[in-house]
């Protein structure tokens, strides 16, 4: 059903990719459930050490024999001034006091080694490697492709898609402005490059010759059929799975998702230093008004980690990063398998209805 160039290539039954969602939601259970249901489960592995990355991949393989993907963040060289870091530390101490955790903690585990993560993916011969925030070296892309791993990049504007195609990727995720989580932007301006999915997908499809995966605001069969109509070969859905049974999102996070509206999100640099869409919280409101400079990603991400962890422990959503897209009213707490089945069923019924009125 809805076999496309890409589903054949990925060897999956349905054109549905579960968004990688680094940092918790994408459990091995969720990934395996999606892959077993005919979609492509994806591990958001950016924050995993090489050791945990390897064991997680092995865990997925115990839960499913179907293909799955692993997503990494392409590193961007960054430095931040000591003054900027010190000022932000002072600002963040306010939250630490409120949460009862230690002030002025050392900044640890700023980022994992991309090279070591890539090495694990090569050794484990993962079926699909996807990435965001840039383009890995030609060597990495070629090594992946040589061993049969399908390589998927992420674009938020047409120029990024063109560069990804030139670099040799097999498919491109077109990340529309509706999408939750980090913006993948690496050539455009991260705030100006908020192109809606409806506009972005056909413009990318027209400019590249490889399959395009629509992402951003796609929550059900309506979004799937709409995306295929726009020329996409598959969809990537994140928010649709955030509150599902197998999602590893914190209970408070899930509850917030299920009661949130289409206009509950903002694009913020507050939590990580990089533009990302999530539910507006006390933390985003306050830090988005911060008079100084917010440290760049991944420094700000490392600096807020203790706060986010303590907030999660205290069941306090106001200081947690609640990444989510704009399709929020359509999120459900079903199982991932049910979400996929319902999406496919709805798509089928919908197309039949549409063909009837088309004459």
Which residues lie near its own copies (CB under 8 A)? 1-4, 157-159, 176-178, 188, 192-200, 202-203, 206-207, 216-220, 222-223, 225-231, 261-263, 266, 280, 325-327, 329-330, 347-348, 350-352, 354-355, 357-359
The per-type count for the chain, helices as H runs and strands as E runs, is 14, 11
Least distance from C-beta 207 to its own copies, angstroms?
A: 8
Bridge pairing between strands 68-73 and 276-279: unpaired
The tokens of 228 are what? 């295929």
Minimum gap (Å) between residue 339 Cβ and its own copies: 15
For residue 67 the two structure tokens come to 């293909």
Whose Cβ is closer to its own copies: residue 44's or residue 223's?
A: 223
In whole angstroms, how far apart are CA 87 and each of 170, 252, 289, 319? 43, 30, 14, 19
CA 237 to mean position of chain CA atoms: 9
Smallest gap from Cβ 348 to its own copies, in A, equals 6
Phi, psi of 150 (to 5 degrees): -85, 135
Pick from 43, 218, 207: nearest CA to 117: 43
Distances (CA, A) of 23 to 20, 146, 323: 9, 29, 10
What is each CA distance from 59 to 37, 136, 285, 346, in whole angstroms?
17, 26, 38, 32
Least distance (Å) between residue 176 CB and its own copies:
6
Residue 40 DSSP symbol: B
DSSP E strand boundaries for the chain? 16-18, 41-44, 68-73, 128-132, 150-155, 171-175, 181-182, 212-215, 234-237, 265-268, 276-279
Judged by beta carbon, residue 321 or residue 326, the one nearer its own copies is: 326
Least separation in angstroms between residue 156's CB and its own copies is 9
* Of residues 113 and 261, the one with the C-beta less far from its own copies: 261
Q: How far apart are CA 274 and CA 219, in angstroms?
A: 25
| 49 vs 280 by CB, closer to its own copies | 280
In the bound state with its own copies, the residue whose beta carbon lies nearer, of 121 and 228, is: 228
Smallest distance, its own copies to C-beta of residue 226, A: 4
| Shorter beta-carbon distance to its own copies: residue 37 or 118 | 37
Residues 174 and 169: their CA atoms lie apart, in Å, by: 13
Nearer to its own copies, 120 or 179 (CB): 179
Q: Closer to its own copies by CB, 2 or 68: give it.
A: 2
């Amino acid at each position: 059903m809805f076999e496309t160039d890409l589903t054949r290539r990925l060897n999956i039954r349905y054109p549905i990719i579960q968004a990688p969602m680094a940092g918790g939601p994408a459990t091995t259970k969720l990934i395996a459930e999606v892959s077993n249901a005919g979609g492509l489960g994806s591990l958001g592995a950016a924050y995993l050490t090489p050791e945990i990355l390897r064991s997680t991949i092995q865990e997925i393989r115990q839960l499913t024999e179907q293909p799955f993907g692993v997503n990494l963040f392409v590193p961007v060289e960054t430095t931040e001034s000591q003054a900027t870091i010190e000022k932000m530390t002072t600002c963040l101490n306010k939250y630490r006091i409120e949460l009862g955790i230690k002030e002025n903690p050392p900044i640890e585990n700023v980022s994992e080694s991309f090279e070591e993560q890539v090495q694990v993916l090569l050794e484990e011969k993962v079926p699909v490697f996807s990435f965001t925030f840039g383009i890995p070296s030609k060597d990495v892309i070629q090594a992946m492709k040589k061993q049969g791993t399908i390589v998927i990049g992420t674009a938020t504007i047409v120029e990024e898609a063109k560069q990804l195609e030139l670099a040799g990727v097999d498919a491109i995720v077109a990340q529309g402005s509706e999408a939750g989580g980090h913006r993948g932007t690496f050539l455009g301006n991260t705030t100006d490059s908020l192109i809606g999915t409806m506009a972005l997908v056909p413009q990318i499809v027209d400019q590249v010759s490889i399959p395009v995966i629509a992402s951003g605001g796609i929550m059900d069969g309506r979004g799937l059929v709409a995306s295929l109509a726009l020329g996409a070969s598959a969809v990537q859905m994140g928010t649709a799975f955030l509150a599902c049974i197998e999602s590893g999102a914190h209970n408070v996070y899930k509850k917030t998702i299920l009661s949130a509206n289409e206009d509950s999100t903002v694009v913020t640099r507050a939590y990580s230093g990089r533009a990302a869409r999530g539910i507006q919280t006390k933390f985003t409101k306050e830090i988005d008004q911060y008079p100084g400079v917010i440290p760049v990603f991944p420094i700000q991400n490392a600096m807020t980690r203790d706060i986010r962890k303590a907030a999660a422990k205290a069941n306090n959503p106001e200081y947690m990063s609640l990444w989510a897209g704009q399709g929020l009213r359509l999120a459900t707490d079903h199982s991932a398998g049910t979400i996929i089945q319902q999406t496919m069923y709805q798509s089928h019924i919908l197309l039949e209805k549409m063909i009837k009125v088309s004459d």
